[in-house]
């Protein structure tokens, strides 16, 4: 049993090391990062370990206990959801703490024996532009909001140097629409799968190249993050 515990700890430390090495190429000391959909704060803690300043946003009340435990002079979190307008809205809660959403499409797609959506809570919603006007333009913005990414980013009017947003197989058309929305004359893209700390492409690519890649992917169990860099 002791050997098993040691092996688990070693694997966890190795995974954390690889994640830190991966993100160190994207986030630098004193960068300001938004963590939208912070959940338990895993990514927030990773960004803090790189010397970044983190402003996190997480509406789920069950997650606030975890975020309260992150005591760091460069960390703050706010109990806001992020959406298309400033409002109060019902957030649907999944039976696993990792998932909550405003997207009915996401709920329909991911309702099964292991995931139900029987609870909700009323939360305060802010637009991403409001966050920027209140806290400043982040150097890095991570967005993980369970199928609501398009709704948030379609209302972004500022240019953020580097954005990371989640995608899943059932929402490839939304993902392609986001790629088109965020594209500027000097925007490049890359992506990873299943939180692996490595890029799937050996170089950053253009909008058209990124869309072509996504059209070729099998949507079965597809999950990952797209990285959008404005040079």
Q: What is the pLDDT of residue 225?
A: 97
Residue 169 pLDDT > 50: yes
CB 189 within 8 A of CB 227: yes
User: Using 50, 70 and 90 to split pLDDT, how confident is the model at 31?
Assistant: very high
CB 178 within 8 A of CB 153: yes
CA distance 65 to 168: 28
Residue 5 pLDDT > 90: no
Listed by start position, the domains of the chain span 14-230
User: Using 50, 70 and 90 to split pLDDT, how confident is the model at 7?
Assistant: very low
Q: What is the pLDDT of residue 12?
A: 47
CA distance 130 to 57: 13
What's the mean pLDDT in 146-168? 95
Q: What is the pLDDT of residue 3?
A: 47
Residues 43-69 pLDDT 10s: 999 999 999 999 999 999 999 999 999
Please provide the average confidence, as pLDDT, over all residues in the chain: 92
Residue 194 pLDDT > 70: yes
Specify the range with the lowest mean pLDDT, choosing from 8-22, 60-74, 184-198, 208-222: 8-22
What's the mean pLDDT in 133-151? 96
Residue 157 pLDDT > 60: yes
Residue 99 pLDDT > 60: yes
Nearest to 165 by CA among 26, 9, 37, 32: 37
Predicted TM-score of the model (pTM)? 0.92
For residue 227, count other CB atoms closer than 10 A to its CB.
20
Select from 3.40.50.300, 3.40.190.10, 1.10.3720.10, 3.40.50.150 the CATH code of 14-230.
Answer: 3.40.50.150
Integer distance in angstroms from the first to the last C-alpha of the chain?
50
CB 79 within 8 A of CB 124: yes
* % of residues, the chain, pLDDT over 90: 81
Residue 1 pLDDT > 60: no
Which two structure tokens, joined as six digits, stand for 114? 């292991």
What's the mean pLDDT in 193-200? 95
DSSP state of 99: -
User: Using 50, 70 and 90 to split pLDDT, how confident is the model at 14?
Assistant: low
CA distance 229 to 178: 13
Where in 66-118 does DSSP place strands (E)? 75-78, 80-83, 87-93, 100-101
What's the mean pLDDT in 209-230? 94
User: Using 50, 70 and 90 to split pLDDT, how confident is the model at 16?
Assistant: confident
């Amino acid at each position: 049993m002791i050997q098993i515990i040691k092996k688990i700890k070693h694997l966890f430390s190795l995974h954390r090391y690889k994640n830190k090495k991966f993100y160190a190429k994207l986030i630098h000391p004193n960068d300001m990062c938004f963590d939208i959909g912070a959940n338990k704060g895993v990514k927030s803690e990773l960004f803090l370990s790189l010397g970044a300043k983190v402003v996190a946003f997480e509406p789920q009340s069950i997650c606030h206990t975890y975020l309260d435990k992150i005591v760091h002079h460069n960390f703050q979190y706010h109990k806001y959801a992020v959406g298309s307008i400033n409002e109060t809205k019902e957030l649907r809660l999944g039976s696993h703490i990792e998932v909550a959403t405003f997207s009915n499409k996401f709920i329909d797609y991911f309702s099964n024996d292991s995931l139900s959506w029987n609870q909700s809570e009323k939360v305060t919603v802010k637009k991403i532009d409001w966050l920027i006007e209140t806290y400043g333009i982040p150097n890095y913005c991570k967005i993980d909001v369970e199928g609501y990414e398009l709704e948030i980013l379609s209302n972004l009017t500022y240019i953020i140097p580097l954005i990371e947003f989640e995608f899943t197989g059932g929402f490839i058309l939304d993902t392609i629409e986001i790629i088109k929305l965020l594209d500027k004359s000097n925007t490049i893209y890359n992506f990873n799968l299943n939180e692996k700390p490595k890029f799937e492409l050996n170089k950053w690519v253009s909008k058209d190249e990124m869309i072509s890649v996504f059209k070729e992917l099998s949507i079965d169990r597809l999950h990952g993050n797209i990285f959008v860099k404005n040079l």
